[in-house]
Amino acid sequence: MKIEVKLDNNRLPDKYTRHAAVEYMDHDFPVVSFPFSIKDVPAGTKEIAFALTDLDSIPVCGFEWIHWLVAGLDGHDVDVPEDASRNNPLNWTQGYNSSAGHIYDMKDQPISQHYMGPKPPSGVHDYTLTVYALDTKLNFNDGFWYNELIHNMAGHIIEEVKVDLPVENN
């Protein structure tokens, strides 16, 4: 399985990060999700799920920051269009990102169940997009948690692929 994300000078384009124009922000976070493709999905895949997280956030806030969670994507090659998180053209379910937790407590805000783009406090952070090909369909509604996704995927992952998407705070 391959993940293809168009980068700009080996970085996620500004439009999808802390450098986005004000019209692409909500609660001071970028909300227009980046386009990407998932290719060569393995045979037998019934569902695709993915997570966008930031391991570089651990020294800053003490945990891996969750920026986007998706489950329920059909198990075949797919092109995810720009702003798919807000528009949902692929009819998927979206889980809570870290804004729903106790630090921001925005669980009741739409941004908490959509793409909340990278906003590194300093330097370069690598945001990791992890795509999972699953041999079963998960039965989530919008608003599931990352730990629920991990537990429900256990024993059902056919293939897992990761790509790092660098973002710089400059």
- Quick one: pLDDT at residue 156? 98
Tokens linked to 98: 């870290």
Lowest model confidence (mean pLDDT) among 52-66, 100-114, 130-144: 100-114
- Quick one: pLDDT at residue 99? 87
- Quick one: pLDDT at residue 149? 98
For the segment 94-105, the average pLDDT, to the nearest whole number, is 84
Determine the structural domain holding residue 39 and report its residue range: 2-168
Structural domain total, the chain: 1
| pLDDT at 123 exceeding the cut of 90 | no
CATH number at residue 88: 3.90.280.10
Considering the chain, what percentage of its residues have pLDDT values greater than 70? 98
| pLDDT at 103 exceeding the cut of 80 | no
Q: Mind listing the pLDDT tens digit for each residue in 26-78?
A: 988 999 999 999 999 999 999 999 999 999 888 888 889 999 999 999 999 99
- Quick one: pLDDT at residue 44? 98
| pLDDT at 13 exceeding the cut of 80 | yes
| pLDDT at 108 exceeding the cut of 90 | no
pLDDT band at residue 137 under the 50/70/90 scheme = very high
